[in-house]
Amino acid sequence: MVVKFYLQRRWWLLLVSSMLLFELTALYFQYRLELDPCVLCVFQRTAVMGVLVAGLVGVINPLNRWLRFTAYSIWGACSIWGAYTASKHAGLQLGFIEQSITCEYTAPTWFMLDKWVPWMFEPTSIYCDEIKWSFFGFSMPQVMLAIFVLLLLTLLYICVIEIRDGLKKTGMSV
C-alpha cells in the first residue's frame, strides 16, 4: 500500500517549518547582517508567510478534502505572487525594469502589515535595485524566485498525485 503523504500531518508541518525557517532567515539578514528590506523584499516575505499559513491550514486536518483544497489554493496563490515579485525584483537588479516604475509601497488599506507588524513587514530601504548579498553569484531575489518556483512545482506534483489517486478511487484510469 502506497502512503499518501499529502494526507499526513508531518508533511504539512514540514511545509510550515520550512517557511518559518525562511522567515527567520529574512529577519537574520535584516537585523543581524543589517540588510534593510525594500518594498519587493517585504512582498516576498508576505508571500512566504502566506505559504506558511497554507501549511497551517493543511495541518488542521489533512484528511479533510476542503481544508486541503483551501491550503493548496493559498499555497498556489502565494507562490505565484512570490515568484512574480521575485522576478520583478530580479529584473530591477539586472536592469530589465526601471526603478521608478516598480518600487513604491502600495499596500491595501485593509491589509497594513507594515503598521501591524513593522519589525517584519516595514520596508526600510528605498533601493530595490541594489545587490547587497549573493549566493553562488545569485542575488537574493533570484534565490527567492527559485524557491517560489520549487514551491509551485511541489504543489503541482502533489495535485497531480491527488487527482490521479482520486481517479483511481472512482475506477477511472489516467
pLDDT tens profile 117-159: 777 777 777 777 777 877 888 888 999 999 999 999 999 999 9
Residue 29: CB atoms within 10 A of its CB come to 17
pLDDT confidence of residue 174: 53
Residue that wins the pLDDT comparison between 27 and 2: 27
Architecture of domain 7-103+112-170: Up-down Bundle (1.20)
Task: Provide the residue ranges of all domains of the chain, joining segments of one domain with +.
Answer: 7-103+112-170
**What pTM was computed for the model?**
0.86
- pLDDT tens-digit readout, 20-60: 999 999 999 999 998 888 888 899 999 999 999 999 999 99
R_g over Cα of the chain: 18
Residues with a catalytic annotation lie at 38, 41, 45, 103, 128
- pLDDT of amino acid 117: 76
